[in-house]
Amino acid sequence: MSALLEIEDVTMRFGGLCAISNCRMTVPAGITHGIIGPNGAGKTTLFNLITGIYRPTEGIIRYKGRKISGQRPSRIALEGIGRTFQNIRIFKSLTVLENVRIAYDSQLRYGPMESLMRVGRYGRAEDESIARSMELLEHFGLSGFASIPASGLSYGSQRRLEIARALALKPALLLLDEPAAGMNTGETSALTEFLRDIRDHFQVTMILIEHHMHLVMNLCDKITVLDFGRVIADGTPAEIRANPRVIEAYLGESTE
């Protein structure tokens, strides 16, 4: 079985600080992979490396067998990696619909001249992009808000919009950075169901960073534990729960 994502001995240094050191990780297609670890462990940095926001100091990242480290973030996104951000990064003053359309735009095939003269493929492509984006919003229960500015959405809806937007890229791999941040226990279990539904409906491989143990243990097939930029454990939820190093480094301080 060939892996969807392979991280090979990746190191990321910021000046003297080693945010990720010699990280190895393999994510096969079709699974949901959790990344946990204390604050500052390097989880977000790992996402930024995968999506090309940072270039690894050392090491290689492969996606579908092809090297993606060193590519531009837009190129990596178009290869089929969608993501959300720990601190929501939606396009605030654009409408909810426009947020999704921007991600969908990369699939539209028309040239500048066609859009200038409003001829050729332009009209149909735009109509189709609106229709598809509305479908997506419908699925996320956001279609009623399509024409309001995204900043007008509630916090939870903004998080959902961010996921919808990422899915508009039609990614094979979806990276979620703390999707349950700021949610209470009830909301978190609803999110668990929601993410499960997304995974099945859109057929994406997911990697998610989470602090809510419940969500991670319930949803993930595999878990990687990071601490000070190092992978300290790797395995199924049951293995992770039983791993003494993990309990010491992470679960020990905040069991939930």
Partner 1 sequence: MENIRRFCVRLADRRWILPVLLVLGMTFCVVAESTSLLNSYTRFVLTAMLVNVILCVSLNLVNGYLGEFSVGHAGFMALGAYASAMLTTCLFPQTPALFIPAILVGGLMAAVVGFFLALLSFKTRGDYLAIITLAFLMIVKSALENISWVGGPRGLAGIPTLTTLPIAFATAIITLWVIRNLIYSKFGRAVVAIREDEIAANAMGVRTREAKILAFTVSSFFGGVAGALLAHQITFINPGSFDIVKSTEILVMVYLGGIGSLAGSILGAVIFTFLSEALREYGTWRMVILPLILVLLMIFRPRGIMGLRELPWFLPRRELFNRRKKS
- Amino acid in position 250: Y
Whats the size of the chain, residue-wise? 256
Place of tokens 């946990």: 36
- Give the three-state DSSP class for 155: helix
In whole angstroms, give the CA distance from residue 45 to residue 210: 14
Least CB distance to ligand ATP at residue 47 (A): 8
The 8-class DSSP code of residue 149 comes to B
- Residue 19's binding partner, choosing from ligand ATP, partner 1, Mg ion, none, with beta-carbon cut-off 5 to 8 A by kind? ligand ATP
- Residue 228's binding partner, choosing from ligand ATP, Mg ion, partner 1, none, with beta-carbon cut-off 5 to 8 A by kind? none
In whole angstroms, give the CA distance from residue 3 to residue 27: 6
In whole angstroms, give the CA distance from residue 184 to residue 210: 13
Least CB distance to ligand ATP at residue 8 (A): 19
Least CB distance to Mg ion at residue 211 (A): 9
User: Which residue ranges make up the site for partner 1 (CB under 8 A)?
Assistant: 51-53, 72-74, 77-78, 82-83, 85, 89-95, 97-98, 101-103, 105-106, 108, 110, 112, 115-118, 122, 126-127, 129-130, 146-148, 165-166, 168-169
- Residue 14's binding partner, choosing from Mg ion, partner 1, ligand ATP, none, with beta-carbon cut-off 5 to 8 A by kind? ligand ATP
User: Which residue ranges make up the site for ligand ATP (CB under 6 A)?
Assistant: 14, 17, 19, 37, 39-45, 86
Assigned token pair, 113:
């001249």
Please give the backbone phi and psi of residue 230, each rounded to the nearest 5 degrees, phi first.
Answer: -110, 150
Least CB distance to ligand ATP at residue 178 (A): 7
Residues 6-65 touching Mg ion, rule: CB under 5 A, are 43-44
User: Do 41 and 229 form a contact (C-beta atoms < 8 A)?
Assistant: yes
Interacting residues toward Mg ion by CB under 5 A: 43-44, 86
